[in-house]
Amino acid sequence: MNQSFAALRLASVRRSYVLGSSLPTRLLVSSATGEGKPAGSYSHTLRLPKTGFPLRADAARRERQFRERCTDTLYKWQLESNTGPQFILHDGPPYANGELHVGHFMNKVLKDIVNRYQVMQGKRVLYIPGFDTHGLPIEQKALATLRGRDKDSLNLMEIRKLARNFALKAVASQTKSFKEYAVMGDWSNRYLTLDPEYEASQLEVFKEMVVRGYIYRQNKPVYWSPSSRTALAEAELEYNANHVSTSVYVKMPLTDESCQRLGSSTAVEALIWTTTPWTLPANCAIAVHRDLDYVLVRVSQENTPDYQLLVGQDRLAAIAELLPKGSTTCVVHTLKGSDLEGLTYTSVLRSKVCKILLADYVTSDSGTGLVHTAPGHGKEDYELGLDHSIDVYSPVNDCGQFTNQAGAALEGKEVLGEGNAAVIEMLTATNALLFKADFTHSYPYDWRTNKPIILRATPQWFADVKDLKNAACASLKHVNVVPESGRRRLESFVRGRSEWCISRQRVWGVPIPVLYNAQSGEPLLTAESIDHIIGVIRANGGTDAWWTLPVEAFVHPRYCANGETYVKGTDTMDVWFDSGTSWKLLEKRADRGEQGAFADLYLEGSDQHRGWFQSSLLTSNAVRGVAPYKALVTHGFTLDEQGRKMAKSIGNTLAPSQVIDGGKNKATEPAYGVDLLRLVVGSTDYTQDVSFGPTIFASFGDTIRKIRSTVRFMLGNLDGFTPEMAVPYEQLPGIDRYMLHELYHFKKAATAAFDRFEFFRATQALNHFTNTTLSAFYFDVCKDRLYANSPSSLERRSAQTVLRHILINYTTTLAPVTCHLAEETWEFSKALRGEFGPEVFSVFQEQWDQTNDAWHNPELAEDWAALRRIRGLANRAIEAARKTKVIGSSLEAELDIYVPLESRLGRLLRSHEGDLSQVCITSRASVHELDVDGASVVDGAFEQTDVVAAFGSETKATIVCRRSPLCKCPR
């Protein structure tokens, strides 16, 4: 192949193509003659990439140039111009009580990815951001701003005004941050749960539930937070697995009559066990199981009179270990639990005679087999007391302190502190305490104050879930739940509750619209009355009217003439009821009629199975008989790089601004911009907990640079190319048609991933396509014709045609996740898309999938997959030669490929023999028959032998690499 440089110059322009391949034959000159070594540079003879697209992102500055057009302008445009069906992602309102953290970022960006994908599918996206602006956290934080001022001196309206202003300030701050995250939505019409119309709409849902019989009031045990001084719902609890309680074994003496029924002439004491000694002043009964065995046991010990205990037979051995050292036990009598029904005893701290009752929930797994029962402090206790007409007794006030009903010795003491200790002292003093010990177990805490709660009976308003939960769970069968485990989790929470306490004892919230008869205390709660109250609230600018107007303004005229007087209730609604009725907003916005779900999607964190997902499901089913959503997507929590949940108490929370704008020292805390953080979210399996941290950000910084480098290569090599220069598909060489096949399947994989809400699989497909298909293969093998061929040549235009298709579909795939980068790429590639009018301003106006079904060519793809495997085997041989410094560049190598020529792989390699040097980027590649004894290796050569899987079979192949005697083309 010795040629003069002039001949090489001519050949570089007139590349020959073999068997329809796109690959020009590489030409080298003889190193022996020294010809072809020019004195000067020949770069001016090459068409090197040319583009203004920068490799360095400078994201913190450059992203702002594209934000407006891909957020507010785009949102308005797509509503007016897209012609597809409406798509509604209903926003779960974040709490307006402080600055945002990376968990908020993840939540909003996941929603934004969905919405942007739907826009590119031609749909009209309705996304109205919302804010939860009522409730205790806001009230507490607002009060905390009163430095040095007596909070107790504030009247109710002063507290509400303070809380409102705090919430509105937080909404403004959070809105500004969300918009900086490039979250597209109707921010000018965001919804707030404090808006008067929202409050009125919420009260209308409440009225409908009253009409359907779901709302009732009862004095029964509820979760009560002494630290917050309000009732709580299950969703407002967190469980501390390391809570330590003092457990006590207490002797309750049976009455003489009951001892005689047991045939005992001496005293008998029923032994109970509890981890809440403070509830013993409210003891009203002891529960046993009718089918369990119980024993009357005589306990003997030195210098102490014998005494008799009544305990569960299965618990006797464990109890015996608690007795003082040297004690002995003797079973006097064995009875069934049913034999104990109706026996009486004296409740030691109340000096009141109470009964032993039968209950199915009693077990012999722990304790004594006899269960202390206080209907005012336990849900099962309450139900048992209800069955036996026992008064609900709870001598504890709102602050969690004993009242005077508990006795002078306990009055005013906190039940979770000194009051509990005082009860134990009293038991000890009366010889009622057999044993006490610390007991570590899971215990509910107020999620806002992180302090333990109690169960306490107070008159509260409830939503009856017992008859609603089956219908609610049935409606979930028609919902697409991602991940599927979320369906089971949500159903378990719904089925695990029979009621929902919806009243709260706070000022900042929506009032429960009930009037009470001033004389009898009976509530007035009718549809007519509630409608009248809603009308007054609407006419007076919101629920502040409940606190400012006299009660007479809220009494329906029908009830004014009956001579009765009324007072307004003081309870407000659970904030989960506030946000759980937000689907009502969509009633007039959704264009899908009265039937079915208004929202296409709810997307929130996994904690909302107990919260917003559930409250929305229950209220929607109660009023409309359907789930409010067609799809339900759940994401995990945010973790640091050590796998710890982010929490202020640990000090490992992360503000998105720290990543976007960088820290004070930009060398150690660089400004990565919004897109990098969006890419972290879009690249991670968000259904699990997601880690964030400096090492992760640095890694994704490399990913962004790789993507920008890929885009830059395509833009640079498309300089001067116009759509009119494109080569028809039928005229494209084989490798180019193969690349369009690969592009087609990449885009279909990305589309399927987005359709399944598996964005991380789409970004994985994009990264694989970038690194494996483009950078490691196609870009490598098409550089020759892009750099050296004439701009008008079919070969160069073929490669450019493919690059144009790749760039367009690559950019649209990037767009939902890294919207700024996609806009920047689109800005630099507008000329490749033909004529644009002034109304075309964004990549999101592009069609999502711009591939063609004709590009699907599995037979061609199978051939090229085999050629790429041969390339992989060749690279191993080349790398071995490079490591020993026999060659530097792969162009200094020659290959001899040995395969059975009659095999399908052998026939393929023979037909593409002229392409192989370009596929492998070497100076020469020849195909030979693989002898039985294998290839013959000469000195200075490197051999790789392997089995190549292709065409459904495995074929042995040997590749021999040696240094070429030719020199590299100086161009």
| Gap between the Cα atoms of 783 and 777, Å rounded | 11
Q: What pLDDT sits at residue 830?
A: 83
The answer to whether the CB of 183 falls within 8 A of the CB of 70 is: no
Task: For residue range 428-439, list pLDDT tens digits in order.
Answer: 999 999 999 999
The answer to whether the CB of 27 falls within 8 A of the CB of 1 is: yes
Residue 7 has pLDDT above 90, yes or no: no
| Gap between the Cα atoms of 800 and 721, Å rounded | 7
Residue 869 has pLDDT above 70, yes or no: yes
The answer to whether the CB of 591 falls within 8 A of the CB of 86 is: yes
Residue 666 has pLDDT above 70, yes or no: yes
| Gap between the Cα atoms of 644 and 692, Å rounded | 10
Give the rounded percent of residues in the chain with a pLDDT score beyond 90.
75
Mean of pLDDT values over 703-727: 95
Beta bridge partners of residue 605, listed in sequence order: 635
Cα distances from 82 to residues 77, 118, 600, 847, in angstroms, run 8, 10, 17, 11
Give the rounded percent of residues in the chain with a pLDDT score beyond 70.
93
Mean of pLDDT values over 670-693: 96
Q: What pLDDT sits at residue 836?
A: 56
Cα distances from 144 to residues 132, 159, 357, 857, in angstroms, run 19, 11, 49, 67
Residue 797 has pLDDT above 70, yes or no: yes
- The conformational region for residue 521 under phi > 0 = left, psi -120 to 50 = alpha, else beta, is left
Beta bridge partners of residue 355, listed in sequence order: 285, 344
* pLDDT bucket at 75, cuts 50 / 70 / 90: very high
| Gap between the Cα atoms of 818 and 445, Å rounded | 40
- Phi then psi dihedrals of residue 523, to 5 deg: -75, 145
Residue, of 15 and 856, whose pLDDT is higher? 856
| Gap between the Cα atoms of 117 and 151, Å rounded | 49
| Residue 82 one-letter amino acid | N
Token look-up 């796998």 returns 643
Residue 480 has pLDDT above 60, yes or no: yes
DSSP state of 608: G
Residue 29 has pLDDT above 50, yes or no: no
- Phi then psi dihedrals of residue 320, to 5 deg: -60, -30
Residue 696 has pLDDT above 90, yes or no: yes
Task: Among 93-97, 649-653, 952-956, name the most confident range.
Answer: 952-956
Mean of pLDDT values over 94-103: 88
Nearest to 87 by CA among 124, 141, 49: 124
Residue 789 has pLDDT above 50, yes or no: yes
The answer to whether the CB of 347 falls within 8 A of the CB of 252 is: yes
| Residue 790 one-letter amino acid | S
Mean pLDDT of the chain: 90
* pLDDT bucket at 352, cuts 50 / 70 / 90: very high
CB-based burial label for 792 (10 Å; 0-12, 13-18, 19+): exposed
**DSSP readout, 455-505?**
EEEEEEEEEE-TTTHHHHHHHGGGSEEESTHHHHHHHHHHHT-SEEE-EE-
Cis bond upstream, residue 324 (ω within 30): no
Residue, of 670 and 970, whose pLDDT is higher? 670
**DSSP readout, 316-366?**
HHHHHTTSPTT-EEEEEEEEEHHHHTT-EEEETTTTEEEEEEE-TT--SSS
| Gap between the Cα atoms of 806 and 832, Å rounded | 12
C-alpha radius of gyration, the chain, whole number = 39
Question: What sections of 562-719 are H helices per DSSP?
Answer: 575-580, 612-623, 656-660, 674-682, 694-717
Please enumerate in sequence order all residues whose Cβ is within 8 A of that of 776, keeping only pairs 6 or more positions apart, or say none: none
Task: For residue range 593-648, list pLDDT tens digits in order.
Answer: 667 889 999 999 999 999 999 999 999 999 999 999 999 999 999 999 999 988 77
**CB neighbourhood size of 702 (10 A):** 9
Residue, of 343 and 934, whose pLDDT is higher? 343
| Gap between the Cα atoms of 495 and 618, Å rounded | 11
Q: What pLDDT sits at residue 458?
A: 92
Helix 156-180 and helix 136-144, axial crossing angle in degrees, nearest 10: 100
Residue 26 has pLDDT above 70, yes or no: no
The answer to whether the CB of 460 falls within 8 A of the CB of 220 is: yes
* pLDDT bucket at 303, cuts 50 / 70 / 90: confident
The answer to whether the CB of 744 falls within 8 A of the CB of 806 is: no
Task: For residue range 186-198, list pLDDT tens digits in order.
Answer: 999 999 999 999 9
| Gap between the Cα atoms of 748 and 738, Å rounded | 15
* pLDDT bucket at 837, cuts 50 / 70 / 90: low
Beta bridge partners of residue 154, listed in sequence order: none
* pLDDT bucket at 31, cuts 50 / 70 / 90: very low
Q: What pLDDT sits at residue 146?
A: 85
Least confident of 705-714, 736-745, 891-900: 891-900
Mean of pLDDT values over 492-518: 93
Task: For residue range 798-830, list pLDDT tens digits in order.
Answer: 999 999 999 999 999 999 999 999 999 999 998
**CB neighbourhood size of 718 (10 A):** 25
Q: What pLDDT sits at residue 242?
A: 93
Please enumerate in sequence order all residues whose Cβ is within 8 A of that of 789, keeping only pairs 6 or more positions apart, or say none: 12, 13, 15, 24, 47, 795, 796
Q: How far is CA 38 from the centre of its chain?
A: 62
Residue 36 has pLDDT above 50, yes or no: no
Which pair of tokens denotes residue 708?
């920008």
The answer to whether the CB of 427 falls within 8 A of the CB of 280 is: yes
| Gap between the Cα atoms of 180 and 678, Å rounded | 12
Task: For residue range 443-456, list pLDDT tens digits in order.
Answer: 999 988 889 999 99
Three-state secondary structure of 361-422: CCCCCCCCCCEEECCCCCHHHHHHHHHCCCCCCCCECCCCEECHHHCCCCCCCECCCHHHHH
* pLDDT bucket at 934, cuts 50 / 70 / 90: low
Residue 12 has pLDDT above 50, yes or no: no
β-strand 352-358 against 344-347: which pairing, if any? antiparallel
Q: What pLDDT sits at residue 941?
A: 79
Residue 939 has pLDDT above 60, yes or no: no
Task: For residue range 563-579, list pLDDT tens digits in order.
Answer: 889 999 999 999 999 99
Which pair of tokens denotes residue 911?
């037909």
Cα distances from 681 to residues 89, 103, 662, in angstroms, run 18, 10, 18
pTM comes to 0.86
Mean of pLDDT values over 271-285: 95
